[in-house]
Amino acid sequence: MNNGKVRIYELSKELNLDNKDIKDLCEKLNIAVKSHSSTITESQAERVRTAATKYVPEKTVNESVAHEGDERAKDKLKQQILAIHHKQNLPYSASQSSRKESNSVLAEPPKLLAKPQAKSSNPPTSLSSSNPTQSQLKQPPKPTLETNSPAESVEKTVVERPTAAKPKLVSPPSRPQLVKAPARDAQKQASSKPVAPEEEIASPELKVATPEKTVNKAKAKIKSQPSLPKLQRPQPPKPVDEIKEEVAVTAVDEEVAEETEEFDLDSGVKKEKKLKLKRPDLPRKGKTADWEEEEEEESLDSAKAGKAKTANKAKRRPKPLVDDDDDDFDTELDSSLISTAVSLATARPARPKSLEKQPVAATANKVKKPTQKTEKAAKVDKRDRAVVTGPPESVVLSHNLTVRELADLLNTPETDIIKSLFFKGIAVNITQSLELETARAVAEELGVKVETPEIKSAAAKETEMLDAADLDNLQTRPPVVTIMGHVDHGKTTLLDSIRQSKVAQGEAGGITQHIGAYHVDIEHNGNQQQIVFLDTPGHEAFTAMRARGTRVTDIAILVVAADDGVQPQTREAISHAKAAEVPIIVAINKIDKPESNPERIKQELTELGLVAEDWGGDTIMVPVSALKGENLDNLLEMILLVAEIEELSANPDRLAKGTVIESNLDRARGPVATLLVQNGTLRVGDNIVAGSVFGKIRAMVGDRGNKVEAATPSFAVEVLGLNDVPEAGDEFDVYPTEKEARVVAEARAEQQRDSRLQQAMSSRRITLSSLSAQAQEGELKELNLILKADVHGSVEAILGSLQQLPQNEVQLRILLAAPGEVTETDVDLAAASGAVIIGFNTTLASGSRQAADREGVDIRQYNIIYKLLDDIQGAMEGLLDPEEVEEPLGQAQVRAVFPVGRGTVAGCYVQSGKMVRNAQMRVRRGNAVIYTGVMDSLKRVKEDAKEVNAGYECGIGSSKFNDWQEGDIIEAYEMVFKRRTLSVN
Ligand SMILES: Nc1nc2c(ncn2[C@@H]2O[C@H](COP(=O)(O)OP(=O)(O)OP(=O)(O)O)[C@@H](O)[C@H]2O)c(=O)[nH]1
């Protein structure tokens, strides 16, 4: 209804008659109408309604509907015919014209294809069921909803599987899930949104190939499945204002119309209004002006439809939805309708991946080249949507994704993302994969909050080392044990004691610096058994390494000093072991000390969930003295006992695989790595790939410096022959042939290079851009560093610690961090970038010292991490601008005021400190400061004085202040510059 005017087609629906019938009636009643979209007055409409009660429509039943053989409601058929007529008309004629126009015959079928889907997805049951009006209303104005619609359309299509009986080709797909989630919430609600499985999305492609077949299939399916149209009812309405706005901008015309129709169908309310949004589906002759423009477009579109119906649609899309009943939008119904449109617009990403799987794309494949028009139209479409919707508030990023996927996720045109990356110095194309960090940077730049799924503890065992094939040939293997615990609780001493050697004595600063692996032979139950110990460092900076140690370990020994109790790293060790689901044995150490209190330790551990066996729990706790070697046998017994329970096994008769425990570049021997064999047997001559490093094992060295020919499961060996230094923590595999191994290594190296480059570029650019504002304000300082250390583990640990330093005012830039000697190249880099070189436990290659002297490069060498960190922090503080602070000098009281010339002088008594000529002074009267300025003159008796100390009288004057009063207090002070320390805020 519309300003007292009624359109013919509205009336036809209202009266459940064909437009033609209404036109006939009008003719009989002498009411002039041109077409179904013509309007008549309400009174004329009333006459038509009256006449219609007696009117018997001359209807011919369309064959295609007749096929359906649904004789249940003949009057319904009328509507169905109408619907089918419309539905098929458009695509058919479009494809016809396309055939005539071009050879791209395949361009059209997708629409047919899309239709059956759309149909099937929508609630057609209602069409064939009891409500004729509904069936009529269900006819979609255009079948091309999917053609240029992105993912959601596809999803929707798939989700809403064919359910109904007949008019499947007609019904537009409904989008209940889209309606639910207005744009910004779309991402958040992703989980609740039905997602079409890939294969289902792909199904349209298959159908494209054989449209008729598909249609038949769809029909068959539809017939066999009674449907539930009600389930697809549009969801909660959106605020009207918002709706209006979005509709006006996006003009999601046809989709809106279709949605509207569906809503009408289901709700049975306000159908006229919605129908107005709908494109009329009858042949258009003598249309009213309202329709002419669109009609014209449509004919044009039809003429080119063979290329892409989507193009037509997209072309029309920007056109605002102008209808004479705009003012009707404030109805509840229309709100719902628009909310559908909004969801479509917002939930639809710019160009979803799934778009490729849609009919059009599928067709494009066949036609070789998709029509430019389609693409262009799709772009226009995207732009429109982007304008309207914008990115969501937050997204969840869990893995690398392509530019296109990111664009989808962020609801942002791909071009914007490409542009953003370009400005970060990263040139990408739409299909290029982006690192998680890069994607995060882009998202954050768009103001989108990025959430990452909880990061799995580094300690978690990630890879199963056993394959199914190994199960037939499993043999017991020694347990791999990690000793963990707080600094100085006696880990190294314990291991040392067990090994009967003095490992602890050789350590710099008394701290274990990197993982070592040691084998211990023990007699157990009359058999010689072995335990492999991984010695992990205790300093908290080595958390990452400790986590890694846990990842390869079978049993964790938690050392707790009985005289110290549970400490932060004790807790941390427990959480690592728990994350890796590794059984824990507690060694309560230092029981030889008089102040030791094992029971207190048990109590503290109970609070952390480790309850001793003798306290009724299931955690084995063994009191030991590592220093005195007390009770160590018991501890080892317990380890073997737990190992037995764990049934540790591996298959030694296969090519080895395992984990790199440690690695470094040895000047004499080249890259060296300590490998823990976790399955199979590692042999000299094996072709190995560790991470992305290829190697042919030249030699293997055991933990006692002995040459080893083969290393069976659970054994750790140092290997030589790698062509580079692998990363500690990398897994390694042996390949049957060198060629195979090389190919794998090269592929991985390539991948890593790309990823590193991208990461480096993005982080660098991001740092620069995010810091540029501060730099402009002169607040930002940078300290460039080059870090060289003995092994990877140390590099990681130092980097981890450096990250902890506050960097809000001075930014640390690590230009290079790698294991190895400090080389001349490092010096060159430092000279070029004004960096300081930090060497940790490493030496200087020949020539680098001279180069450093020549270039004026500072090389600092350390072997204790605390010292290194202190120095770096000091250097950073040195870069801070000194702080200007007030330093009080003294206080004086005005006892008398003397006129001198034109001014006055205050006769004072210095109460504390001293008064200093030309110092700053503050004059207080009561609580108020009445003057702040410089003490221009200071006299002692009548003589000028530089300073007057406490307990003396003096005269104080200022050229700018004469208003002295008895009782005033003068505070003298000076401003001094003080070196600042780094603060967290
Ligand atoms: N009295 C006594 N002292 C011990 C015992 N075990 C270790 N210590 C002493 O405790 C100190 C630290 O021992 P370490 O073995 O270096 O401790 P750690 O846990 O390996 O230390 P980090 O490597 O720094 O993590 C040394 O002085 C040891 O002699 C023990 O059972 N009894």
**Residue 490: is its pLDDT beyond 50?**
yes
Average pLDDT estimate for 207-224: 38
Handedness of CA 335, 338, 342, 348 (dihedral sign): positive
**Residue 557: is its pLDDT beyond 70?**
yes
Average pLDDT estimate for 143-160: 35
State if residue 229 touches ligand 1 by the CB under 6 angstroms criterion. Answer: no
CA distance from start to end of the chain:
64
State if residue 654 touches ligand 1 by the CB under 6 angstroms criterion. Answer: no
Distance 591 CA to ligand 1 centre (A): 12
Handedness of CA 954, 958, 959, 961 (dihedral sign): negative
756 — pLDDT class (breaks 50, 70, 90): low
- Choose one of 493, 514, 572 to mutate for the ligand 1 pocket test, by most ligand atoms within 8 angstroms of C-beta: 493
**Residue 159: is its pLDDT beyond 80?**
no
More confident call, 434 vs 311? 434
Distance 563 CA to ligand 1 centre (A): 12
Average pLDDT estimate for 857-872: 86
Give the residue whose CA is nearest to atom 2 of ligand 1: 590
39 — pLDDT class (breaks 50, 70, 90): confident
**Residue 50: is its pLDDT beyond 70?**
yes
DSSP label of 675: E
State if residue 596 touches ligand 1 by the CB under 6 angstroms criterion. Answer: no
878 — pLDDT class (breaks 50, 70, 90): confident
Average pLDDT estimate for 50-79: 50
**Residue 905: is its pLDDT beyond 80?**
yes
Each residue's pLDDT tens digit, 410-425: 888 888 888 877 777 6
> Which atom of ligand 1 sits closest to the CA of residue 504?
16
ipTM of model over 0.90: yes
Q: Which pLDDT value is given to residue 792?
A: 83
600 — pLDDT class (breaks 50, 70, 90): very high
**Residue 863: is its pLDDT beyond 80?**
yes
Handedness of CA 446, 448, 454, 457 (dihedral sign): positive
Distance 843 CA to ligand 1 centre (A): 28
- Choose one of 627, 794, 866 to mutate for the ligand 1 pocket test, by most ligand atoms within 8 angstroms of C-beta: 627
Q: Which pLDDT value is given to residue 561?
A: 94
The answer to whether the 475-650 and 780-879 domains have the same CATH topology is: yes
**Residue 254: is its pLDDT beyond 50?**
no
State if residue 492 touches ligand 1 by the CB under 6 angstroms criterion. Answer: yes
Q: Which pLDDT value is given to residue 440?
A: 83
- Burial label for 579, CB within 10 Å (0-12, 13-18, 19+), is middle
With contact defined as beta carbons under 8 Å apart, do 366 and 106 qualify?
yes
Average pLDDT estimate for 436-442: 81
**Residue 236: is its pLDDT beyond 80?**
no
| Torsion on CA atoms 189, 193, 199, 201, rounded to nearest 10 | -100
Q: Which pLDDT value is given to residue 56?
A: 66
Distance 520 CA to ligand 1 centre (A): 20
**Residue 590: is its pLDDT beyond 70?**
yes
**Residue 589: is its pLDDT beyond 50?**
yes
428 — pLDDT class (breaks 50, 70, 90): confident
Distance 532 CA to ligand 1 centre (A): 20
Each residue's pLDDT tens digit, 660-689: 888 888 888 889 998 999 999 999 999 999
State if residue 491 touches ligand 1 by the CB under 6 angstroms criterion. Answer: yes
* Cα gap 178→348, rounded to integer Å: 9
Q: Which pLDDT value is given to residue 500?
A: 66
Give the residue whose CA is nearest to atom 14 of ligand 1: 490
Question: pTM of the entire structure?
Answer: 0.42
Binding-site residues, please? 485-492, 535-539, 589-592
- Choose one of 488, 491, 622, 631 to mutate for the ligand 1 pocket test, by most ligand atoms within 8 angstroms of C-beta: 488
**Residue 46: is its pLDDT beyond 50?**
yes
142 — pLDDT class (breaks 50, 70, 90): very low
Strands 527-535 and 480-485 turn out to be: parallel
State if residue 504 touches ligand 1 by the CB under 6 angstroms criterion. Answer: yes
State if residue 510 touches ligand 1 by the CB under 6 angstroms criterion. Answer: yes
Q: Which pLDDT value is given to residue 136?
A: 37
- CATH code reported for the domain at 5-53: 1.10.10.2480
pLDDT above 70: percentage of residues in the chain: 57
State if residue 357 touches ligand 1 by the CB under 6 angstroms criterion. Answer: no
Q: What is the mean pLDDT of the chain?
A: 66
Under CATH, to which class is 780-879 assigned? alpha beta
547 — pLDDT class (breaks 50, 70, 90): low
State if residue 487 touches ligand 1 by the CB under 6 angstroms criterion. Answer: yes
More confident call, 500 vs 948? 948
Query: Where are the alpha helices (H) located in 368-448, listed in sequence order?
Result: 372-389, 403-410, 414-423, 436-445
Superfamily of domain 883-978: Translation factors (2.40.30.10)
State if residue 270 touches ligand 1 by the CB under 6 angstroms criterion. Answer: no
Is 656-700+707-759 in CATH node 1.20.210.10?
A: no
Distance 228 CA to ligand 1 centre (A): 73
Distance 489 CA to ligand 1 centre (A): 5
- Choose one of 492, 513, 540, 794 to mutate for the ligand 1 pocket test, by most ligand atoms within 8 angstroms of C-beta: 492
State if residue 514 touches ligand 1 by the CB under 6 angstroms criterion. Answer: no
Residue 919 neighbours by CB under 8 Å, 6+ apart: 889, 934, 935, 972, 973, 974
**Residue 609: is its pLDDT beyond 80?**
yes
State if residue 158 touches ligand 1 by the CB under 6 angstroms criterion. Answer: no
CATH architecture label of 394-451: Orthogonal Bundle (1.10)
Is 475-650 in CATH node 3.40.50.300?
A: yes
Question: Which residues lie across from 908 on neighbouring strands?
Answer: 894, 954
State if residue 509 touches ligand 1 by the CB under 6 angstroms criterion. Answer: no
Binding-site residues for GTP, please? 485-492, 535-539, 589-592
State if residue 708 touches ligand 1 by the CB under 6 angstroms criterion. Answer: no
Domain ranges of the chain: 5-53, 394-451, 475-650, 656-700+707-759, 780-879, 883-978
Distance 604 CA to ligand 1 centre (A): 20
